[in-house]
């Protein structure tokens, strides 16, 4: 079957760095997405990785290793507004998007 694993919840301190991991087992791979979702709101697109390596976008970076079926989202200089759920999603060989359950990130002052 197809499976995406992320930690359910993480806690970090304002100003610090946090890494949210995502591992996947899917039938084929055509890209991995990270989305941010604040409570009661729809997800917003953060990043897309299709090749191995690190993609940096301001305070957020996303890393992919296709051979390991592994990605992480790195958030630097954490702000209180970064408190949200972070969803990992993978596009399989049929271009179907498979969603992880999301990681709830709690930022403490």
| Interaction of residue 69 with other proteins, rule CB under 8 A | no
| Interaction of residue 24 with other proteins, rule CB under 8 A | no
Query: Which listed range, 17-25, 53-61, 73-81, 90-98, lies at the site for other proteins (CB under 8 A)?
Result: 90-98
| Interaction of residue 106 with other proteins, rule CB under 8 A | no
Nearer to other proteins by Cβ, of 43 and 69: the residue is 43
Nearer to other proteins by Cβ, of 6 and 107: the residue is 6
3-state secondary structure 6-62: CCCEEEEECCCCEEEEEEEECCCCCCEEEEEECCCCCCEEEEEECCCEEEEECCEEE
| Interaction of residue 57 with other proteins, rule CB under 8 A | no
| Interaction of residue 95 with other proteins, rule CB under 8 A | yes
The Cα–Cα gap between 24 and 26 comes to 6
Nearer to other proteins by Cβ, of 81 and 109: the residue is 81
């Amino acid at each position: 079957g197809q499976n995406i694993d992320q930690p359910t919840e993480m806690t970090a301190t304002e100003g610090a760095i946090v890494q949210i991991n995502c591992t996947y087992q899917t039938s084929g791979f055509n890209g991995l997405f990270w989305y941010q979702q604040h409570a009661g709101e729809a997800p917003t697109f953060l990043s897309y990785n299709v090749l191995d390596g690190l993609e940096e976008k301001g305070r957020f970076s996303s890393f992919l290793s296709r051979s390991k079926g592994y990605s992480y989202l790195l958030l630097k200089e954490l702000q209180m507004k970064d408190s949200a759920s972070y969803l990992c999603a993978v596009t399989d060989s049929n271009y179907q998007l498979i969603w992880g359950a999301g990681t709830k990130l709690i930022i403490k002052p």
